[in-house]
Amino acid sequence: MEKILVTGATGQVGSELTIALRNNYGPENVFAADKRPALNELSPSGPFCLLDVRDASAINQVVDANNIDAIFHLAALLSAVAEQKPQQAWDVNMNGLLNVLETCRAHRCALFFPSSIAAFGPETPSMNTPQDTIQRPSTLYGITKVSGELLCDYYHHRFGVDARGLRYPGLISSKTLPGGGTTDYAVDIFYAALKSQHYDCFLRADTQLDMMYMPDAIDAAIHLMTADSKQLKHRNAFNVTAMSFTPQQLAAEIQKHIPEFTIAYIVDPLRQAIADSWPRHMNDSAAKAEWGWQAQFDLSAMVTDMLKKITLT
Ligand code: NAD
Ligand code: AKB
């Protein structure tokens, strides 16, 4: 990777991944793009352009003009928003990916595509979820993720596109707020704990979900994209995990730092149903065996670091 394009760069993942890539590959070599303007350090720290991934010729133009050889394609609508706007979610998540894959084919770019625990469904084993197992998601978002995994594999086998992907769990981060997912509670809770020492959680107390802290998620994406291609049997996409907890367990961990913190449960049926259909903890042995994946942050280390970082901002 020498010249990199990041789509959806102003989002929760992109705002941190772009900066990490700029630190590794040089600020001038990492082009950030999003359909909305950059409000944070993305624009001053390197090139930024407005780009809607539904516009195939605009993607081609950016890639052509800047000699891009790798695309981290993050632009998408997440699970809760996708249930509110299913047609738009299909358009952005599927047509956007198809446009990016076609550009990769034409310009011989490598591709990173983030899939999700959402690619699994209620019939999938929810504990120790295998790498290869039943994938019948019940959400529109999940359907676009399974289809995306298959489309990336197809472009690899049929056209030789070096497409690689991860099935991320819910991601927790301190820099940019999440963009409308089901696991967002695990970020919102920190801001509420620091501001008002109370949080009304939209999931049940015992809803166990797979989770990861953003530094591990960024490390996993870059690590996978620089791994030896010949070692990758499961290209699209690898299960990766770091921790697994319920809202009750996360609240208890926060109370170790803020004893007066309280939590109440005001369940949102839509997001609860989505969460109930997802894995509680994935098996990531294929990622460990094929490219040496290892998470650094567990629940306790993540909570300590989150509270420190948010307090400082
Ligand atoms: P986000 O919602 O924070 O950011 C998505 C970005 O895509 C936004 O900046 C948005 O403006 C942009 N976007 C939306 N429609 C667009 C379009 N038509 N053209 C260009 N840009 C558009 O999401 P995120 O959390 O940063 O997620 C990034 C990727 O990682 C997504 O593919 C998501 O499915 C995947 N993922 C995220 C998580 C998580 O917990 N955050 C977990 C699993 C997978
Ligand atoms: C969401 O909740 O939609 C995302 C995800 C797990 O893909 N955070």
Rounded CA separation 210/212 (Å): 7
Ligand 1 pocket check for 42: Cβ under 6 Å: no
Tokens of 156: 């690899």
pLDDT of residue 42: 81
- Of 137, 143, 136, 138, whose CA–CA distance to 87 is shortest? 143
What is the pTM for the complete model shown? Answer: 0.98
Low-confidence ranges of the chain (pLDDT < 50): none
pLDDT of residue 170: 98
Ligand 1 pocket check for 148: Cβ under 6 Å: no
pLDDT of residue 213: 98
Pocket of ligand 2 (CB under 6 A): 78-79, 116-118, 141, 170, 181-183
Ligand nearest to the CA of 144: 1
Supply the residues annotated as catalytic: 141
pLDDT of residue 45: 86
Give the CATH number of domain 4-168+214-239.
3.40.50.720
How is domain 171-210+242-282+296-309 classified at the CATH fold level? UDP-galactose 4-epimerase; domain 1 (3.90.25)
pLDDT of residue 39: 78
Q: Whose CA is nearest to atom 6 of ligand 2?
A: 170
All structural domains of the chain with their residue ranges: 4-168+214-239, 171-210+242-282+296-309
pLDDT of residue 279: 97
Using CA atoms, how far residue 54 sits from 61, 144, 250, in Å, is 13, 15, 38
Rounded CA separation 105/156 (Å): 9
Ligand nearest to the CA of 168: 1
pLDDT digits (tens, 9 = 90+) for 129-171: 999 999 999 999 999 999 999 999 999 999 999 999 999 999 9
Using CA atoms, how far residue 265 sits from 29, 40, 180, 281, in Å, is 46, 33, 19, 22
Mutate to test the pocket of ligand 1, among 16, 35, 284 (most ligand atoms within 8 A of CB): 35
Mutate to test the pocket of ligand 1, among 74, 145, 151, 218 (most ligand atoms within 8 A of CB): 74
pLDDT digits (tens, 9 = 90+) for 167-220: 999 999 999 999 999 999 999 999 999 999 999 999 999 999 999 999 999 999
pLDDT of residue 194: 95
